[in-house]
Chain A
């Protein structure tokens, strides 16, 4: 489990004019996006703009109806799913753990792509799981059932599983949903450390613009299935964008703590 040295600039994951649909309903239209190695990207946008859908496509959970997703330059739909799972980990929005499953078991399942029928529990597996548990501060809770944990602990357990998977890329779909503010910070700090200390390339869908601006290096803003802005938080979070995409009149002020842009809502437009 050696942390990879970020080779900044290399494109790891890319969407090439991707169109996404559920049945006949097109949700995302011809969208292009490139995610470079070692980056920390947050996808933001109003409800129903297609950001989670895009994340699912980036994680090969949804097959595009047009265009393609490339992982390390190779079409992700044509890469064996197991191979993908060794490079790219993902955490769905509200993952379900079966009742009675312990935290240790949950995190151990993250090793699935590295195991085979004969090799079900190698030293690497054990080391990775131990490290993931320790690193996320969950080691003491390893034999507690997941369903008995608090919301914040549960999210930590799932992140721990994604960590044990040992992938360079990590996609998270609204990891802070239903958490109080301090646990939101807790989870995002954890994700940010995965990025800075472990060199993970992180893509996260977030609702909270202020938190997104504070933790991510790059924001990708979507509206109605299209990409409307992309770049550093200062470039993306403008009053014009909030008016256009979110129908929100707002002032942008510097965050007194981090200096990143902070949205102060005024009123809803229209």
Chain B
């Protein structure tokens, strides 16, 4: 490029990226990145397949045809109870939680331009844990007291939201700097962790054990009572998250460039952080802080799609696949039923390591 090359005269040729298709219907237009679509579709198919298999497996195995019959209302009463009341809500909660955590992680990581910025590291799940453990330990024996049942998810939700708001407020100084947010988040994380550890030393050992299972993240005994509120929350939050996607693509360039391109930085930042916090809070309230989904999944998704940033939808769907798959494994392959959070970390972490060793990418 040392010469002063003149551009060719006449109508410029269209420049298109390989692997993309332009779609224009009426006033709607956009570019379809096939790699992203394929990854998202594959993840969605994986969720459905894993979910279908999961419905049939457990202490009381049910064949796939019977599962399908039950789903359309033709099954026996026992099977219907097991499939629709015991297993289906658990799987739905798992998928939704994975979806929420994957999207939340992708939002945080893109926004902070830091692959470590996930709700786990930023202290939001620790805040939820502190809330839940407080409810379990102070609220009575093994979650059966006044604060049991409804109390624990509510306490977790409050813990996550309070921590998230603190994060937003403390990191706010004429807008949010991604770096400052990560630093503040680490401080909040440490406080949450200290509270959890301290509460655990104060607890009766039964309560401590219950609390420990909770902070690992578990789908045991989840019912429609957890699934339905989560579904409602996601119905609101997912579109909001996707709406920020376009602005996020520009925010990634740094504040000056983004503002130069006409992004209203302050509202965008506030919206992104609030949506990500709310997604995390909803997920954690339903199933506990299922470890590392939000940290690992977006990093896996960005490497699979080979884009410049974690794709929101694909991250969510991969998160769902990971949680549903890990839950299936805990209930079938392992000798004893471990909480799903043990598995998500054990499966997700080596995968990230493998990508790290293999790949050439060194950052987000």
Using a CB–CB distance below 8 Å, which chain A residues touch chain B? 56, 59-61, 80-86, 88-92, 95-102, 104-105, 109-110, 112-113, 115, 117-123, 125-127, 129-131, 133-137, 139, 142-143, 150, 152-153, 156, 165, 182-183, 185-186, 189
Contact = CB atoms under 8 A, between A and B. Distances in A.
Contacts of B250: 109, 112
A90 B257 CA distance: 7
A192 B48 CA distance: 58
A173 B5 CA distance: 24
B2 A120 contact: no
Contact of B31 (A61, A83, A120, A134): A120
B262 A83 contact: yes
30 contacts: A60-B259, A61-B255, A81-B263, A81-B264, A82-B262, A82-B264, A85-B261, A86-B262, A88-B260, A91-B260, A92-B257, A98-B252, A98-B309, A98-B364, A99-B308, A100-B306, A100-B361, A101-B308, A102-B308, A105-B17, A113-B261, A119-B29, A123-B29, A127-B12, A134-B8, A134-B15, A135-B7, A142-B17, A152-B1, A182-B2
A182 B4 CA distance: 10
Contact of A131 (B12, B256, B362): B12
B2 A95 contact: no
A215 B164 CA distance: 51
A27 B263 CA distance: 26
Nearest to B113: A98
Nearest to B22: A121
B254 interface: yes
Contacts of A96: 253-254
Contacts of B254: 92, 95-96
A170 to B, nearest CB: 10
B256 A137 contact: no
Contacts of A119: 27-29
Interface in B342-364: 361-364
Contacts of A123: 24, 29
B interface secondary structure, majority: loop
A180 B349 CA distance: 44
B213 to A, nearest CB: 39
B146 interface: no
B12 A134 contact: yes
Contact of B256 (A61, A109, A182): A61
Contacts of A135: 7, 12
A102 B1 CA distance: 18
A112 B208 CA distance: 52
A132 to B, nearest CB: 9
Closest 5 CB pairs of A and B: A85-B262, A113-B262, A101-B308, A82-B262, A120-B30
A130 B15 contact: yes
B108 to A, nearest CB: 15
B28 A100 contact: no
Interface of B: 1-2, 4-5, 7-8, 12-18, 22-24, 27-31, 113, 243, 246, 249-250, 252-257, 259-264, 306-309, 361-364
Contacts of A82: 262-264
Contacts of A100: 306-308, 361
A41 B237 CA distance: 47
A121 B30 contact: yes
A225 to B, nearest CB: 21
A112 B22 contact: no
Given A112-B250, A119-B28, A121-B30, A102 B17 contact: yes
Nearest to A136: B7
Given A84-B262, A112-B263, A130 B24 contact: no
A92 B256 contact: yes
A158 B312 CA distance: 26
A81 B257 contact: no
A189 B243 contact: no
Contact of A117 (B1, B23, B243, B263): B243
Contact of B14 (A90, A130, A186): A130
B261 A165 contact: yes
Given A99-B308, A99-B361, A134 B260 contact: no
Contact of A56 (B7, B22, B256, B363): B256
A134 B12 CA distance: 7
Contacts of A121: 22-24, 29-31
A217 B306 CA distance: 45
A83 B14 CA distance: 27
Nearest to A85: B262
B181 to A, nearest CB: 17
Nearest to A190: B4
Given A99-B362, A115-B246, A120-B30, A130 B113 contact: no
